[in-house]
Amino acid sequence: MYKPFTSIDEQVRLLASRGVITDRDTPLLLAREGYYSVVNGYKDPFLDQEQTRIVGDDRYIPGTTFKDLHALFLFDRDLRFLCFRTLTTAEALLRTACAYCFTQSHPDEPNAYLNPHNLDERNANPRDLEYVLNELGRIVEHSRRSPGHGGKAYLYHCAMQHDGEIPLWVLVNDMTMGQLTSLFRVMTQEDRASVARYFEGLYGASHSGEVQIPPRKLDTIYRRIKDFRNICAHDDRLYCAKPYNLNNSFFQLVQDLRIVTVKQRYLEFLQQTESLMMRVKKEIPSQAAAIISAMGVNGLGEFRDYMDQVRKS
């Protein structure tokens, strides 16, 4: 077998044999959270890399406790909860902006989003274009199913009451983040520019000053938002995540969210993130610098300087 079954008591003994200090709470925490989720997910900052290489098995920095690993586990969980709330509001904004701008360009054509001539047939990636048309067509087709047969009530109502027409501002509510970002990428250059101006106007209404948001930049921001949203939704490790690109980091995501979040809400998000980072410094002082660095931040000082910059903007 790849890994034989080990009881909770055996898991505690295994940790102790590798240099982790356990206590009477360790068995209950392992039973509640799982060895793999806590230990395998959050051991990296606590490993003695040289000893691990020599013996060919995990060895921990002297003084490491199971509570240290669990504290990092809980920090990352709370960071995911905090981040997910902000990411979902950013997702909702893209839904609204795409639906508004596209419908404004095609006000009189029923289900205009299914007409490839209304999309960027010349410049869009053909696979993206095919994916969007197929996915939106599938949603429209499924809208004819009654709620009692697996359909969505609001889509069924539109389909039945309006001869199969489902406005995009209704349809987007059943689209995944992947479908939504793909739709933005295959919209015409004029419609993408209109969406970008929509975001610029909202930023200017919330923050002091104006900002230019080219469609390409907005696409990059939302690709990153999609990746990190999936990490949060699937309960994966967040604080050190670099999805698909080593230049990605949690702090880069934080800076992206500034563009798409109301200033007051954004400042609250920053303040709550800072509080979590301060908790790490208090609960895991010996590894705090490495943990914060893995988030893409050069210490709390840099993060606080960024917060001050946002407050003054």
Domain shared by 60 and 102, yes or no: no
Rounded average pLDDT over 159-168: 88
C-alpha dihedral, 93 to 85 to 135 to 172, nearest 10°: -40
Residue 244 located in a structural domain: no
Lowest mean pLDDT among 5-14, 61-70, 226-235, 241-250: 241-250
Domain shared by 118 and 19, yes or no: no
Q: What is the pLDDT of residue 152?
A: 86
Position 40: which residue type?
N
Q: What is the pLDDT of residue 225?
A: 96
Residue 272 located in a structural domain: no
Q: Which two tokens stand for residue 10?
A: 């055996």
Q: How far apart are CA 264 and CA 276, in angstroms?
A: 19
Domain shared by 40 and 125, yes or no: no
Q: What is the rounded average pLDDT for all residues in the chain?
A: 94
Domain shared by 16 and 109, yes or no: no
* pLDDT beyond 90 at 143: no
Q: What is the domain extent for residue 196?
A: 92-238
The per-residue pLDDT for range 231-282, each reduced to its tens digit, is: 999 999 999 999 987 678 999 999 999 999 999 999 999 999 999 999 999 9
Task: Mark which of 238, 265, 286 sits at the end of a domain.
Answer: 238
Residue 13 binned pLDDT confidence (cut-offs 50, 70, 90): very high
* Number of domains comprising the chain: 2
* pLDDT beyond 90 at 3: no
Residue 2 binned pLDDT confidence (cut-offs 50, 70, 90): low
Q: Dmax of the chain from CA atoms?
A: 71
C-alpha dihedral, 263 to 265 to 267 to 268, nearest 10°: 170
Domain shared by 166 and 37, yes or no: no
Task: Mark which of 186, 206, 238 sits at the end of a domain.
Answer: 238
The DSSP symbol for 145 reads S
Lowest mean pLDDT among 22-36, 140-154, 298-312: 140-154
Asked whether the beta carbons of 280 and 292 are under 8 A apart, the reply is yes
Task: Mark which of 211, 238, 265 sits at the end of a domain.
Answer: 238
The per-residue pLDDT for range 144-153, each reduced to its tens digit, is: 888 877 778 8
* pLDDT beyond 90 at 130: yes
A 10 A CB-CB count for 221 gives 23
